[in-house]
Structure 1
């Protein structure tokens, strides 16, 4: 157990003949007591400062740990947001590609339908033209026959047509 200033102050030495000067020993002991008390006070102050610094260090260590965790969480959140954004972009692209394919397919189908309808109309127009041409040729042929001239000169027909004109 370490000495205390009180232990030094209360220390009694046995007396002998031809011993040390008592006043000189007491002065020296008083000086030792003062120095020892000063060292004890300084030691307590240093321990107090050490404790305060340890508490600050602990506080800053906690802050550092919290900041590290926060940075990790923020990085994970950023990575997750980035990943989700990529996934969403891929979904949008896929959806857009599907819509584009659908639109192109619909346009191709409409184009084919219009082409078929156009071909059908061309066929019908050709058939109509051929029939109309045949009809006109038949009418021209009929106009060119001698029988038409006989019809014009027939008086019975003239009177019937005259009745129509009246």
Structure 2
């Protein structure tokens, strides 16, 4: 049974002979009722504060759960973003590697094609040079034969007879003209020979250029 301050104050005791003094008992009951009333008020206050504290605890617990869920969501989102970024980086690296390999292969193919074209052109130039050398050699030999024939003609008995028979002036003129002609032939032969040497030098230069281009492409491989 729960007593109230009013129950304590209204409590009626039976009187007996030589019992307690009623006035003192009533005063004490009033004190007890006041104290009980104060205690009940304190209990109500404490209950209110307890409920308020429990409400706050529940609020903070819910807030903590919400924060924890937000952290989990943020962590999952961060993990997902990181995974996507890693996948994108891996894909870009793979594509870059493929592009680089393709560029290297294309450069190698172009280098080989350049070498093949250079070798083909060099071979054609060599063949042309050989033909020109053969033609120049034939012309040079022909000029040598002409010069030899002209020298043989000057040393022949016919010229000697012309000089002996008194046609010295005419023979001298003819001999001078022949000598001039022979000098021109000699000069022409020397020019042909020099052109032949220039072709040989040009052929060696082309061969060295082709060898150097081949070496550069080999170094790139």
- Is TM more than 0.5 here? yes
* CA offset digits 1:28-51 (Å, max 9, x no partner): 111111011000000000000111
Distance (Å, rounded) in 1 between the aligned partners of 2:13 and 2:140: 168
TM-score by length of 2: 0.63
Instruction: Please report the RMSD computed on the Cα atoms of aligned residues, expressed in angstroms.
Output: 1.7
TM-score by length of 1: 0.82
The SS at the match of 2:76 is helix
> In the alignment, what sits opposite 1:23?
23
* CA offset digits 1:90-143 (Å, max 9, x no partner): 111111111100100000000000000011011101100111111222233344
Distance (Å, rounded) in 2 between the aligned partners of 1:144 and 1:60: 120
Deviates more, 1:101-110 or 1:4-13: 4-13
| Matching of residues 114-129 of structure 1 within 5 Å | 114-129=114-129
* CA offset digits 1:28-76 (Å, max 9, x no partner): 1111110110000000000001111111111111111111121222222
> In the alignment, what sits opposite 2:200?
none
> In the alignment, what sits opposite 1:106?
106
Deviates more, 1:82-91 or 1:45-54: 82-91
- Report deviation, 1:82: 1.7
> In the alignment, what sits opposite 1:74?
74
Deviates more, 1:77-86 or 1:105-114: 77-86
> In the alignment, what sits opposite 2:180?
none
> In the alignment, what sits opposite 1:3?
3
- Report deviation, 1:145: 4.7
Identify unmatched segments of 5+ residues in structure 1: 150-166
